[in-house]
Amino acid sequence: MKFHILKEMTVYQDFLRIKKAWIKHDRFDGASSVTYDRECLDKGDFATVLLFEKDTKQIILVKQFRYPSIHHGDGWVLEIPAGGIEVGEDHKECAIREVYEETGYVTKNLEHMVTCYTSPGITNERMILYYAEVDQNDKTGEGGGNTNEDEDIQLHKYNISEIKQLLLSGTINDAKTVIALQWYLLHKIGDRYTI
């Protein structure tokens, strides 16, 4: 099956960028394709990391204010560290940088979990999720976010025995964090730890 972008243009640009495209593509029923227009939030990729502190058997999360979430809550979201990948930056470099900025932990060995779209109906944004193990000695920085970006981030630690309850209670309502914690339960708990 094929598609053809007839025209594409940026219709809005500030912190976010919105593109509009006129598209023609093959249809599953074999009928002739129609031309229609679609808009896309052109956000780019971001890297994110689920941190597990081995010596305390705790996962490390961050809490920060997220304006779009105020319509369904108080605005503060508990999540795993994440950030946008800058032009020319490697995914892993971004993940390491964001972890240090937000938590103060130095990470070295990242394990790729999954790469997926956040909401493919409206945005081209993909999240590249990683897993990393650290210990208390790896916390060499302040954390709290990048002050040049007005970030205000608070560190939270949870025992691995609390993961299921955090998910089932809705305390964790951020998609990337839900995906990462479910991945952790499926791939890392197993025979290694009892929860």
- Residue entry with tokens 């099956």: 1
Angle (CA) 69 37 128, round 5°? 45
Say what the pLDDT of residue 159 is.
97
Indicate if 92 and 110 belong to the same structural domain.
Answer: yes
- The CA distance from 108 to 93, in Å, is 10
Summarize the confidence of residues 71-89 as an average pLDDT: 93
Is residue 194 one of the residues assigned to a domain? no
Residues 16 and 73 grouped into a single domain: no
Bridge partners, residue 51, by sequence: 60, 132
Task: List residues bridging with 122 in a β-sheet.
Answer: none
Q: Do residues 108 and 140 touch, judged by C-beta distance below 8 A?
A: no
- What's the rounded Cα separation, in Å, for the pair 115 and 127? 6
> Are both 29 and 56 inside the same structural domain?
no
Task: Say yes or no: 36 and 61 in one domain.
Answer: no
Q: Is residue 184 part of a domain?
A: yes
Residue 102: pLDDT over 80: yes
> Considering the chain, what percentage of its residues have pLDDT values greater than 90?
79
What's the token pair of residue 72? 């369904």
Asked if residue 177 and residue 89 are part of one domain, the reply reads yes
Report CA-CA distances (Å) from 40 to 45, 77, 91, 136, 148: 14, 25, 22, 42, 28
The predicted-structure confidence for 140-173, as pLDDT tens digits, reads as follows 999 988 877 778 999 999 999 999 999 999 999 9
> Using alpha carbons only, what angle is made at residue 86 by residues 85 and 88, rounded to the nearest 5 degrees?
110
Work out the average pLDDT over 56-60: 97
- HSE, side-chain direction, 13 A CA sphere, residue 56: 15
State the residue range of the domain holding 34: 3-41
Return the biggest CA–CA distance within the chain.
62
> Is residue 195 situated within a structural domain?
no
Residue 134 falls within a domain, yes or no? Answer: yes
Hey, is 159 helix, strand or coil? strand
61 and 20 co-located in one domain:
no
Residue 160 lies in a domain: yes
Establish if 83 belongs to a structural domain: yes
Q: Are residues 75 and 158 in the same domain?
A: yes
Give residue-wise pLDDT tens across range 4-23: 999 999 999 998 999 999 99
Flag whether 98 is marked binding. yes
Pairing of strands 126-134, 46-53: parallel
Is residue 82 annotated as involved in ligand binding? yes
Q: What angle do CA 127, 64, 97 make, to 5 degrees?
A: 50
Give the count of domains, the chain.
2
| Range 62-80 burial, b when 16+ CB lie within 10 A, else e | bebeeeeeeeeeeeebbbb
Same domain, 129 and 182: yes
